[in-house]
Structure 1
Amino acid sequence: MHKVIAIMGALVLLTGCAVGPDYQTPATPEPEVFSEGRTMVAGTGDQQRFWQGFDDPMLEQLIDQTLTANHTLEGAVARYERAAALLYGAERDQWPSVTASATAAEQYLADSEQSPPGDGPERVQRYQAGLAANWELDLFGRLRRATQAQRAELEAAGADIGAVQVAIVGQLASSYFELRGLQQQYQVAQQSVALQQQSLDIVEARVEAGRGTEFDQVRARAQLERTRAELPALQAGIRAAMHRIAVLTGQPPMALVGTLSPRGTLPESLPVIPVDSPGDVLRRRPDIAAAERRLAAATARIGIATADLFPRFTLSGLIGSVTADTSDLFTGPAETRRVALGIDWTFLDHGKVKARIEAAGADSRAALANYQQTVLEALEEAETRLVRYQRAQQREERLEQAMNSAEKAVKLARARYEEGFIGYFEVLTAEQEFTATRDATVRSRTAVTLTMVDVYRSLVGAPG
């Protein structure tokens, strides 16, 4: 017994090494600045709650509801809780497991089982109670590597929650601004209908006075009906955006139709976008954090597989009481104790173990490749969205100027038409240009707002 205890003590002292590679965060090349970011003014607002910069209480209310009721986010939280439970189990595997047991048995022995053989049935009673403990001595780090892997998975699941938050907040904000843009487009289309109805009235009055032609009247009516035909499609788009917003907030599609039906507007002024260095952005993005943590987990699993090359040592012990009479339980004569050291070494499965190690190594390389690709795609996404935002702003400025000129052209064309200096064709052309330019201006304003939301999604971390 003393020899067993001495051997076990020596083995416990050896517990400390862990086979397999130790994880190191891979170095990632980072540009010093974003190519378009240097033209933007740094801001001091709360990047993680960027939607507050739009100063829209309805948007803030919807996003707050989304962050508490979205079912996709609930699923991510549940996966995090699962990972936390698995980590707790992995940590407990490193400690002894203790079980309590008790049995009461009664047996009648046959003559051949009796000693010495008897001439009739013999009844044997046996009562047993005790505590048994088993402890795997983690000499080669199998259990520690398993804990490392599961802890990294837990951290990855936490980062996944952040990534889902960024995604659903971005979807909600985009859907909301799409709705407001469509509502403005619908208003513009109605204004165009009113404008073209006025033109038709003018043409009809001139026809009745003998100063116009039926051809002008037909063309004016065709232009009016073509503009009216755009209204149903805009109404369908408005309703679809409302449905999307409701589902993102965890409600049935029709739940917010009444709330969102009053026409809203796009932001008159957009918040300043703070642009940090690419390195800061990469460290803040939850999708990159999740990919990096899964790489750490895959690296730890190489150690788990490698540990199978070595024997497993198990320390077990028992303390209890065994007696034929319940009154003798837990007395000195009925006491029983056992201490044992077990060795389990499947050395004949060396080939299978090597295969598992190679598979774990391949998983680690795949995780590394995924991490590196995630970093590159994050940089690409940020660069692309920044340049789109810059160009969308430039386009909007030019369309504003074009719309002002087109509006003046309509007024001049009408005046000249009423005075008889030009035909209706020139008026029709001017109105078509004005209608198209005004609609394009609203679409451009929507696009600028949406690209700003996309930029924030690329640059910020999870909502705090």
Structure 2
Amino acid sequence: MLLTGCATAPAYQPPTVDTPAAYKEAGASAAHPGGPAGIAPDWWRVYADAPLNALEARIDVSSQTLRKAVALLEDARAQARAAHAAYFPTISAGLSASSSHTSANVVGRSLAGKTEPDHLLGLTASWEPDLWGRIGNGVDAAQARAQASADDVAAVRLGLQAELAADYFGLRSADREIDLLRRTVDAYGTVLQLANNRYRGGIATEGDVAQAKAQLESTRAQLADLRLTRTQLEHAIATLLGEPVARFSLPPLADTAVLPTLPAMPAALPSQLLERRPDIAAAERRVAAANAQVGVARAAFFPSLLLAVGGGLESTSLASWLTAPSRFWAIGPALAATLFDGGRRQAVADSARAQFDASAADYRASVLRGFQEVEDNFAALHALQEEATSQQAATEASKRALALGLDRYRKGAVAYLDVSVLESTALASERAAELVHRRQLIASVMLVKALGGGWQSTAVAP
């Protein structure tokens, strides 16, 4: 019993991590922390975007990345079943028929120069009792790895969902910018016509016409570049969904002026993050697997017991093969131990302990990265909200300044260069406002991902 206690794996406890009481960047939301059910599994529905909902539903059906993760999970589960099979006896059977001839020039053999047939039918069974926990710890390690693979599937699914949402919002933002640039091109075309008319009337200079045309063509170039960005985002979405790019299209919305809903920030506590993120749960399960492997390495220092039994029929002639005198059998235990191996077992045990330490470090690093991602996105949402307010005011002011500048240009009070500066400022301001809104949406998606989405850790039966 004392030896058995020495051979078992160390008592497992998840590695300790320093968990703060609240997120620094969460602000007032930390005062009202949400429970584990605070984020729904279909969290993207809070944006109230029907096309996004339809796209997200296709992730589980056709994503090749997710299919790979599921295949790896099936592999881990099969390995766990294989490890569990070591608890049971191994039974094997054999049937053979052979003839052998002994050299006649061998002295001292009764069968020298003779040919002897041999017909054999045998059945053997062997079983190794798990005295030192080698099999049990191996099963625990395999089961922990299977649980980690299940968490990996959830992490991959959440990552794909978040990436799809971010690409989708980027595409819709590009649609709104394309619409803005189209309207701007039309407006610049009108201004170019006005400059031409004033030039023909002798009121404006040829430089005004050239400046207006340069402004128009520059905006058209921006429009072409933005269309390329939109096309690439559409291709990225197709790949995420596991579809050929040639067969996938996402047409612009009928009303590009409608902005997606920016949901309220989810509230959470740092202590909940360890239970809400599948990647952190997977890292913890790998620590448990490494701990069990320490027990497997310890068991190698103790002897192994093998219980075996075998029997069957063997005869030199087929006529007497199935008779009672042809029976043979053997039964008995075998105890074997390694006395010297040049330090190999100790090296394996040291390796197992080092792998446990490495897995524990990976787990703590995963937790720290999780805290950082949550803090980063809380901070981004707060900062972008302030930026959006200021940018909206700047956009309204630039529109007003442009309208006044165009009116003064029509009256001949200012040169076109002044109008050109106002046009550039107004367009840049509107595009900046759109960029801020896009960043807000993506930051909210990344915050949901950083908090683990709608995934929850579940207790796994022993």
TM-score for the superposition, normalised by structure 2:
0.89
SS of the residue 2:142 aligns to: helix
Corresponding residue of 1:8: none
2:16 to 17, 21, 27: 27
Q: What CA distance in whole angstroms lies between the structure 2 residues aligned with 1:273 and 1:101?
A: 68
The superposition leaves residues 176-228 of structure 1 with CA deviations (integer Å, 9 ceiling, x where unpaired) of 11111112111111111112222222222222333323332222222222212
| Cα pair distance change 1:315/1:352, threshold 3 Å | same
Matches for 1:204-283 after TM superposition, within 5 Å: 204-257=196-249, 259-260=250-251, 265=256, 267-283=259-275
1:383 aligns with 2:372: no
| Cα pair distance change 1:314/1:199, threshold 3 Å | same
Native 8 Å contact 2:262 2:440 kept in 1: no
Matches for 1:12-411 after TM superposition, within 5 Å: 18-40=7-29, 46-106=39-99, 124=116, 126-257=118-249, 259-260=250-251, 265=256, 267-323=259-315, 332-349=324-341, 351-411=343-403
Q: What CA distance in whole angstroms lies between the structure 1 residues aligned with 2:367 and 2:109?
A: 81
| Cα pair distance change 1:17/1:320, threshold 3 Å | farther
1:429 aligns with 2:418: no
Two-structure CA RMSD over aligned residues (Å): 2.9
SS of the residue 1:47 aligns to: coil
Q: What CA distance in whole angstroms lies between the structure 2 residues aligned with 1:426 and 1:459?
A: 49
Q: What CA distance in whole angstroms lies between the structure 2 residues aligned with 1:215 and 1:104?
A: 105
Which consecutive residues of structure 2, in runs of 5 or more, have no partner in the other structure?
A: 457-462
Report the Cα offset of residue 128 of structure 1. 3.2
Q: Write the letter of the residue equivalent to 2:338.
A: T
Q: Write the letter of the residue equivalent to 2:16.
A: A
Corresponding residue of 2:460: none
SS of the residue 1:93 aligns to: helix
Q: Write the letter of the residue equivalent to 2:47.
A: F
SS of the residue 1:340 aligns to: strand
Q: What CA distance in whole angstroms lies between the structure 2 residues aligned with 1:51 and 1:375?
A: 24
Q: What CA distance in whole angstroms lies between the structure 2 residues aligned with 1:80 and 1:419?
A: 73
1:450 to 439, 442, 449: 442
The 10-residue stretch of structure 1 (58-67 or 33-42) with the greater mean CA deviation from structure 2: 33-42
The 10-residue stretch of structure 1 (267-276 or 21-30) with the greater mean CA deviation from structure 2: 267-276
| Cα pair distance change 1:264/1:353, threshold 3 Å | farther
Q: What CA distance in whole angstroms lies between the structure 2 residues aligned with 1:268 and 1:462?
A: 21
SS of the residue 2:389 aligns to: helix
TM-score for the superposition, normalised by structure 1:
0.88
Report the Cα offset of residue 420 of structure 1. 3.4
Q: What CA distance in whole angstroms lies between the structure 1 residues aligned with 2:292 and 2:271?
A: 26
Report the Cα offset of residue 289 of structure 1. 0.9
Percent of aligned pairs sharing the same letter: 29
The superposition leaves residues 114-138 of structure 1 with CA deviations (integer Å, 9 ceiling, x where unpaired) of 99969x9867554433321111222
Report the Cα offset of residue 246 of structure 1. 0.7
Native 8 Å contact 1:21 1:303 kept in 2: yes
| Cα pair distance change 1:181/1:263, threshold 3 Å | farther
Report the Cα offset of residue 267 of structure 1. 3.7
Native 8 Å contact 2:43 2:454 kept in 1: no
Report the Cα offset of residue 409 of structure 1. 1.7
SS of the residue 2:131 aligns to: coil
Report the Cα offset of residue 16 of structure 1. 8.4
Which consecutive residues of structure 1, in runs of 5 or more, have no partner in the other structure?
A: 1-10
| Cα pair distance change 1:317/1:423, threshold 3 Å | same
Report the Cα offset of residue 359 of structure 1. 1.2
Divergent runs of 4+, >6 A? 14-17, 41-45, 108-118, 120-123
